[in-house]
Structure 1
Amino acid sequence: MSEWPTREITDPTMLRAMAHPLRLKLLNDLVINGPSTATELSERHQESAANCSWHLRQLAKFGLIEEAADLPTKGRNRPWRWVPMGNRWGDASESPELNMAGDELITQMMGFEFAERQAWETRKRNETKDWYDASFAIQSIAWMTADELAAINEAIRELLMQHVERLDDPASRPEGARPIRFIAWGNPAH
């Protein structure tokens, strides 16, 4: 399994900053499309360049993105890039404020991901057969212990981590590779 740096978030302000819908879109865009300027992002997301610039600075304040100083600037526009790092926060012993901020971030992230899934449902019939057939959605209910659920969590994580270096190293991506969205959760039904 590839190692991937992970930051432990203990500041509820950082979680609330990440939970903003436009910031989630901008961060996602930088992960998928690589370094971009506020102007480029504004065009892709139908927002003003000034608004995108302000939200990019908020993401940078928390170390989620950074100026791509090694890349050429485009006039007054400077490119921004994602800082490749996972995020982890909260457990049962955390402060109520951190847990509430984490709950809001998860709600916003799931809303974003659900919208992306619905967009796939709309466009999948225009895809090639191999991509159409390879995509999936799985839903199930299983009876298991907490240890068994934890083992499934780790197995899924290990599978996904096999490809994690491709996120920030385009040269490691095989020809024909595309960014694939994954969402998985496992929680007691009642």
Structure 2
Amino acid sequence: MRDPQELRAIAHPIRLRLLDELFLSGPATATELSDRVGQSPANCSWHLRQLARYGYVEEADGGVGRRRPWRAVFRGRAWGGPDESVALSRAGDAATEVLFTREFDQLRRWQQTRRDEPAEWRDAGFVDQTIGWLTAPELAELAEELYPLLMRYADRVADSASRPPGARPVRFVAWGVPVPPTDS
């Protein structure tokens, strides 16, 4: 990704809520989404058009005008790199902060409500944390190994027919970041 505006398009809590609703519940109109996210239909419509401008959503079949449904577009996006511009770097930092805050909020929600889940789901959910000593090439290799695991079920996001009975959305977050050197 080379366009800072494309990153800024998702660095907004309402737009992330709209994307979540479209990914989790399928195509919907701005009016239908307004009820789910607590915004006016006009505001939802404006945010949907901004998301569409950068390819995050598109018009779905089956409607016109105000009754036009939107659907989320699933595709991987990456940003950051040694040759990125200052504007892209700042937009990437802002988008990453919003996305991580959202994921942390979802983790906190799970922690607060997991006891209310059926045992099957309560026992299946997990949070792992560790520290390992790696070289930079080993860390890069680990990232390459994790990506296919995290993406194994990604096709089910866009294709509801591929979801087996009893499947639920599950959020995956992984990172491997070097610990800054100490001054000792």
Decide whether the 8 Å contact of 2:29 with 2:66 is kept in 1: no
SS of 1:66's partner is: strand
* Aligned partner of 2:152 among 137, 162, 181: 162
Whose strand fraction is larger, Structure 1's or Structure 2's?
1
Q: Deviations over 1:31-64 (max 9, x none)?
A: 1111111111111111111111110110011111
> 1:13 corresponds to which residue?
5
SS of 1:178's partner is: coil
Relative contact order, higher structure (CA 8 A, sep 6+): 1
TM-score when scaled to structure 1? 0.90
Q: Deviations over 1:112-132 (max 9, x none)?
A: 111111111222111110100
What's the CA shift for 1:160? 2.0
Q: Deviations over 1:72-127 (max 9, x none)?
A: 46x83211001121111220211111011001000000011111111112221111
> 2:140 corresponds to which residue?
150
Count residues in correspondence: 180
Where do 5+ consecutive residues of structure 2 fail to align?
Answer: none
CA distance in 2, matches of 1:55, 1:132: 35
Decide whether the 8 Å contact of 2:30 with 2:42 is kept in 1: yes
> 1:71 corresponds to which residue?
62
Bigger shift: residues 75-84 or 18-27: 75-84
Q: Which amino acid counterpart does residue 25 of structure 1 have in structure 2?
A: R
Misfit runs of 4+, over 4 Å: none
Bigger shift: residues 55-64 or 26-35: 26-35
> 1:40 corresponds to which residue?
32
Q: Which amino acid counterpart does residue 97 of structure 1 have in structure 2?
A: A
Among the aligned pairs, what percent are the same residue?
51
SS of 1:183's partner is: coil
Q: Deviations over 1:141-190 (max 9, x none)?
A: 11101111112211211112221211111111111111100111111111
CA distance in 2, matches of 1:168, 1:36: 14
* Aligned partner of 1:24 among 16, 28, 39: 16
CA distance in 2, matches of 1:83, 1:38: 16
CA distance in 2, matches of 1:161, 1:46: 31
Where do 5+ consecutive residues of structure 1 fail to align?
Answer: 1-8
CA distance in 1, matches of 2:112, 2:161: 31
* Aligned partner of 2:51 among 52, 56, 59: 59
> 2:112 corresponds to which residue?
122
CA distance in 2, matches of 1:110, 1:61: 23
> 1:81 corresponds to which residue?
71
